[in-house]
């Protein structure tokens, strides 16, 4: 039985990942996904939790086999790593407070994003190169600041935005941004075609036999995250 060394973000992207492997309460959409992958590949999982930049660096240097932590497929990342077949479609979305207008002008408002994400790049573009009102490594910190009135909005990936808008009283899912559609995929080291191909075969199996659609319904209430 081989060991699959899986890199996960130090700030778990709920509901993709909830809890920690160390505490024994680790669960979520991606946790279920790579446990099913490991079972079908006959691998056991060894988790490595660290900051995003650290786990991507360790993947490139061979210290990890894959990274599965709400990783959006981008051309920039594809120059550093190889992506497996996408397992979830999504878009960027805005969360605000219930008393604020759903048509929040993000260019003129205090908007927070996670550091180093596609949301951060999108907001910087919309603000003409200016940084966000708040850049954080932690979703909890951003949504807490929004709930307390320190921010007017948070831009995030739609499954994560939907979760926090439901979980924290006083917040609402305002809208998704047209033209920001993307996909999450497992990242493997550049050139590791053997592992990538093995994972892609199993992902295709899981799509065909209903395992993946079932996971999407369980965790998001829908198979379509263009919401």
For 156-166, what is each residue's pLDDT tens digit?
Answer: 999 999 999 99
**Strand, helix or coil for residue 169:** coil
Greater pLDDT, 11 or 169? 169
* Cα dist from 41 to 74, 186, 200, whole Å: 26, 15, 11
pLDDT > 70: percent of the chain: 97
The residue written with tokens 């093995």 in the block is 198
- Lowest-pLDDT choice from 10-19, 45-54, 166-175, 185-194: 10-19
Question: pLDDT-derived band of residue 224, with 50, 70 and 90 as boundaries?
Answer: low
- Residue 225: band (very low, low, confident or very high) from pLDDT cuts 50, 70, 90: low
Given a cut of 80, whether residue 179 has pLDDT beyond it is yes
φ, ψ of residue 12 to 5 degrees: the values are -60, 130
44 forms beta bridges with 3
Which tokens is 147 given? Answer: 């709930």
Q: Which pLDDT does position 53 carry in this prediction?
A: 87
List alpha helices for 110-191, DSSP H.
118-126, 139-147, 158-167
Four-CA torsion 138, 215, 223, 202, nearest 10 degrees: 100
Alpha-carbon distances of 19 from 2, 32, 139, 180, rounded to whole Å: 25, 13, 14, 28
pLDDT of the residue at 138: 87
Summarised one tens digit per residue, pLDDT across range 95-128 is 999 999 888 888 889 999 998 889 999 999 999 8
How high does pLDDT run on average in the chain? 92
Tokens of 1: 């039985």
Q: Is the peptide bond before 218 cis (omega within 30 degrees of 0)?
A: no
Residue spans of beta strands (DSSP E) within 58-105: 66-67, 81-83, 88-90, 92-97
Average pLDDT over residues 175-193: 95
4-43 tens-digit pLDDT: 999 998 887 889 999 989 888 899 999 999 999 999 999 9
Q: What is the pLDDT of residue 223?
A: 65
The average pLDDT across 52-58 equals 92
């Amino acid at each position: 039985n081989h060991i699959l060394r899986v890199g996960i973000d130090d700030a778990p992207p709920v509901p993709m990942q909830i809890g920690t492997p160390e505490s024994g309460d680790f669960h979520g959409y991606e946790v279920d996904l790579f446990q099913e992958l490991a079972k079908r590949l006959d691998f056991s999982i060894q988790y490595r939790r660290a900051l995003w930049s650290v786990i991507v660096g360790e993947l490139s240097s061979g210290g990890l086999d894959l990274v599965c932590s709400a990783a959006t497929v981008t051309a920039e990342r594809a120059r550093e790593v190889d992506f497996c077949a996408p397992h979830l479609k999504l878009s960027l979305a805005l969360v605000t407070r219930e008393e604020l207008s759903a048509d929040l002008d993000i260019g003129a408002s205090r908007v927070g994003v996670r550091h180093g994400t596609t949301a951060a790049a999108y907001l910087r573009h919309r603000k003409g190169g200016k940084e966000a009102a708040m850049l954080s490594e932690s979703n909890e910190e951003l949504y807490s600041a929004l709930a307390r009135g320190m921010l007017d909005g948070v831009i995030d990936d739609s499954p994560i935005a939907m979760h926090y808008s439901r979980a924290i009283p006083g917040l609402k899912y305002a809208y998704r941004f047209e033209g920001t559609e993307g996909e999450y995929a497992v990242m493997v080291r550049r050139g590791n075609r053997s592992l990538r191909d093995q994972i892609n075969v199993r992902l295709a199996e899981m799509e065909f036999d209903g395992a993946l659609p079932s996971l999407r319904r369980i965790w998001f209430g829908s198979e379509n995250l263009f919401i």
